[in-house]
Amino acid sequence: MKLKRSYAELLGADPVKPAKTDISPEAAEMHAAQKADKTRADKIREEIAQLTAHPRVETIRPFRWMVLILVNLLFLGSYYLDIQLLEGALTASRFVGFHMADLNSALQVTLAFKHVVINLLIGTVTVFIFWWLLGGRTFCSWVCPYHLLAEWAELIHLKLVNKGWVKDHPLDRRARSWFWLVFAILAFVTGYTVYETISPTGILSRALIYGPGLALIWIIALLLFEIFWSRRAWCRYGCPIGLTYGLVGAISPLKINYNLEKCFHEGECKKVCLVPHVLDTVIKGRATKISVDIGADCTRCGRCVDACPTESLTFNFKGIGDYL
């Protein structure tokens, strides 16, 4: 049921408050103890005051940006130096001879041509295993070049919001699932990988390696929309690639784990999260267990880990025994 609910939220369903019968006795006892703790409100106010006076320094995001930039520069360097290290682009490539294919792009090609290319199958299996180990949507926050630009655009958006010059307009999260379905149908019906013509990930990856083109106008339009209208709109509400990798990440051993016992429920984690619905479990009374894994839509960006003042959120790599 937990995995089913995680997939439902990935596809756009709203988080549901758990029934009392879904909450373990240990978690129920902890919820009751936290509710009865008369000093807890004072502790929360103290935590928030300390965060305001001394904001926590993010350590994961700078490292993540560095990894993302280096991965994309590796494509560029391999191309210009003419070395067979990392050939191609993010949609399809070869790493020291091993074929790799973006899962969503491979699906589009298979639907368009209506048969499976062996090299494509090999590349898809390789990438599936790799991103399964690293957590599916880790691709979004640690590799995707559009994600980096969107994060920079988000910084501008938040400054404009704080000044009262713009207002964020959340969209329907189910739109991403509809986009995924529409582009899959278009590929099958037209015999053409329609999505690849507008994919910000593919456009930026190819532009970086082979030079800019008119398609960058679309990227600029998306970024302007996110700056002035809807925060992180494409990644939250539009990108089929994020949905595809989320399906993989739901069963990944790498998770962000939430510890109820440590949490003060001050909500700092949700303020910075790209997909804050995955952190509904941190709301007071929502956690079903003392230790809860964050859902399939999580990008493992680590911003919540850095933001949490009580270290209630941590990276966790599950072993086989954890699933038994």
Which pLDDT score is estimated for 280? 94
Question: What are the tens digits of pLDDT across the range 232-253?
Answer: 999 999 999 999 999 998 889 9
Confidence of residue 321 (pLDDT cuts 50, 70, 90): very low
User: Which tokens belong to 291?
Assistant: 């230790």
Residue 74 buriedness (CB in 10 A; 0-12 / 13-18 / 19+): middle
The pTM (predicted TM-score) of the whole model is 0.91
Closest of 101, 93, 91 to residue 203, by C-alpha? 91
Which pLDDT score is estimated for 152? 97
Question: What are the tens digits of pLDDT across the range 70-129?
Answer: 999 999 988 888 887 888 888 888 887 778 889 999 999 999 988 887 878 888 998 999
Per domain, the residue ranges of the chain are 2-58+252-319, 60-247
Q: How far apart are CA 133 and CA 153, in angstroms?
A: 30
The beta-strand segments (E) located in 90-185 are 92-95, 98-101
Range scoring the smallest mean pLDDT among 53-62, 267-276, 305-314: 53-62
User: Which tokens belong to 99?
Assistant: 């074929």
232 sits in the region (left: phi over 0; alpha: psi -120 to 50; else beta) called left
Which pLDDT score is estimated for 115? 85
Of the spans 11-25, 93-107, 159-173, 305-319, which averages the highest pLDDT? Answer: 159-173
Question: In the predicted model, what is the mean pLDDT of the chain?
Answer: 90
Confidence of residue 320 (pLDDT cuts 50, 70, 90): very low
- So what CATH class is 2-58+252-319? alpha beta
Which is more confidently placed, 65 or 89? Answer: 65
Q: What end-to-end distance do the CA atoms of the chain give, in Å?
A: 15
Residue 269 in this model has a pLDDT that exceeds 70? yes
Which pLDDT score is estimated for 319? 62
Which pLDDT score is estimated for 20? 86
Residue 181 in this model has a pLDDT that exceeds 50? yes
